[in-house]
Chains A and B, each alone.
Chain A
Amino acid sequence: MASKTDTTEHTLSADQQKKRRGRSIALAVALAALVAIFYAVTIIKLGPGVMDRPL
């Protein structure tokens, strides 16, 4: 019951939706940048042959 009431209370306005979308995009960009950073650091520190090793 309580959750149904909460859902009704937190209906987002157009402005709130726009801000949330902006935050989501910024978060996605930040995560992608973090992936790129870790990839670049791995290649630079360990060299391009990091995956090329015998099992």
Chain B
Amino acid sequence: MTLLEQTQTIREDTSASVGGMGSVGDYVALLKPRVMSLVIFTALVGMVLAPASQHPVLAAISLLCIAIGAGASGALNMWWDADIDRIMSRTRNRPIPAGKITPSEALAFGATLSGGSVLVLGLVANWVAAGLLAFTIFFYVVIYTMWLKRTTPQNIVIGGAAGALPPVVGWAAMSGTVSVESIALFMITFTWTPPHFWALALVKNGDYKDAGIPMMPVVAGETATRHQILLYSVILLPVGMAPYFLGYATLWYGVAAGLMGAAFLYYAARVWQHREGELARKAALSLFKFSLLYLAGLFAWLLGENVVAGVL
């Protein structure tokens, strides 16, 4: 390598640490688009189910604010977790560990979007919804990312509250209130989160162990995790049917949620039954994949039957 090439390499490394190297796509990746799409979807269901109407443009802007608030908390999460993201294979290609965006850029980006989304939601919808969005961001970034994630195996259980709040924020954006019905929507995602993440953690156990994150399989062991997955899946069955019991979903929804809940329980039982080897890995992966289908299916059904009822 010539002296000129060496100088160029050093300069490139320096400019990476100085910043200004990220593309638009890198900044979009900071927002965790896949998580964001789930947030948009569940918040939309909360908005549609709320017993209040809003100007469609205001409703659309409110949804955008909720999505951006969720994305901003993702960026702040990546800013804080850059050290452990470097270690885990699943996360080492994220923009900060990959050297495309500096931590300070991610912090500024996340903080600006957090403040902006809360402020605009307050002005466009109401301050109950804005307060809930601010609480969601605070809970995810401070309570979950900075505190619980690295200190307790219950990190996913308590931190899951942040991921479960978007339908409550959506409901509040339309109605200005928090009600039992919106809390039932919260409970579905809240109860769903532990078995969903622990199924993945059983497969990616080594990653979390290397990064020193006290996920349930790392701390309590895989057997205890399997017991917990089964327990949460049993609880999830009636919780998933709650919208029917509370009278804002049809009997068809109740039956579908019951069947989906039973299938969830079946996959959880297989995880509980198969504890070693490739069969155990496949069972955990199957549960993880089905859990995605379960949550999307339930919320899609709620959305669908509400839209159909509105048309008829």
Q: Which residues of A contact B (CB under 8 A)?
A: 9-10, 13, 16, 19-20, 22-23, 25-26, 37, 40-41, 44-45
State whether the Cβ of B57 lies closer than 8 Å to any Cβ in chain A. yes
Q: Which residues of B contact A (CB under 8 A)?
A: 11-12, 14-15, 18, 20-24, 27, 55, 57-58, 61, 120, 123-124
A44 near B58: Cβ-Cβ < 8 Å: yes
**What distance in Å separates the Cβ of A32 from its nearest Cβ neighbour in chain B?**
14
B22 near A19: Cβ-Cβ < 8 Å: yes
- Chain A residues with Cβ below 8 Å from B27 are 23, 26
B58 near A16: Cβ-Cβ < 8 Å: no
**What distance in Å separates the Cβ of B10 from its nearest Cβ neighbour in chain A?**
10
**What distance in Å separates the Cβ of A47 from its nearest Cβ neighbour in chain B?**
12
How long is the Cα–Cα vector from A10 to B12 in the complex, in angstroms? 9
**What distance in Å separates the Cβ of A31 from its nearest Cβ neighbour in chain B?**
11
A23 near B55: Cβ-Cβ < 8 Å: no
How long is the Cα–Cα vector from A41 to B64 in the complex, in angstroms? 14
List 5 A-B residue pairs with CB atoms under 8 Å apart, sorted by A's residue number: A19-B20, A19-B23, A26-B27, A37-B124, A41-B123
- Chain B residues with Cβ below 8 Å from A40 are 57, 61
Contact partner, A26, options B11, B24, B61, B120, Cβ 8 Å: B24
**What distance in Å separates the Cβ of B288 from its nearest Cβ neighbour in chain A?**
34
How long is the Cα–Cα vector from A10 to B18 in the complex, in angstroms? 10
A9 near B11: Cβ-Cβ < 8 Å: yes
- A44 closest partner in B (C-beta): B55
- Chain A residues with Cβ below 8 Å from B12 are 13
- Chain A residues with Cβ below 8 Å from B18 are 10
A20 near B20: Cβ-Cβ < 8 Å: yes
A41 near B61: Cβ-Cβ < 8 Å: yes
**What distance in Å separates the Cβ of A18 from its nearest Cβ neighbour in chain B?**
8
- Chain B residues with Cβ below 8 Å from A23 are 22-24, 27
- Chain A residues with Cβ below 8 Å from B120 are 37
- Chain B residues with Cβ below 8 Å from A41 are 57-58, 61, 123-124
Most buried by B among A19, A20, A45: A19
In the A-B complex, the 10 residue pairs with the closest CB atoms: A19-B23, A22-B24, A26-B24, A44-B55, A41-B124, A40-B57, A37-B61, A22-B23, A44-B57, A44-B58
**What distance in Å separates the Cβ of B60 from its nearest Cβ neighbour in chain A?**
10
**What distance in Å separates the Cβ of A4 from its nearest Cβ neighbour in chain B?**
16
- Chain B residues with Cβ below 8 Å from A10 are 15, 18
B15 near A16: Cβ-Cβ < 8 Å: yes
- B23 closest partner in A (C-beta): A19
- A19 closest partner in B (C-beta): B23
How long is the Cα–Cα vector from A10 to B21 in the complex, in angstroms? 12
How long is the Cα–Cα vector from A41 to B123 in the complex, in angstroms? 9
- Chain A residues with Cβ below 8 Å from B11 are 9
**What distance in Å separates the Cβ of A25 from its nearest Cβ neighbour in chain B?**
8
- B25 closest partner in A (C-beta): A22
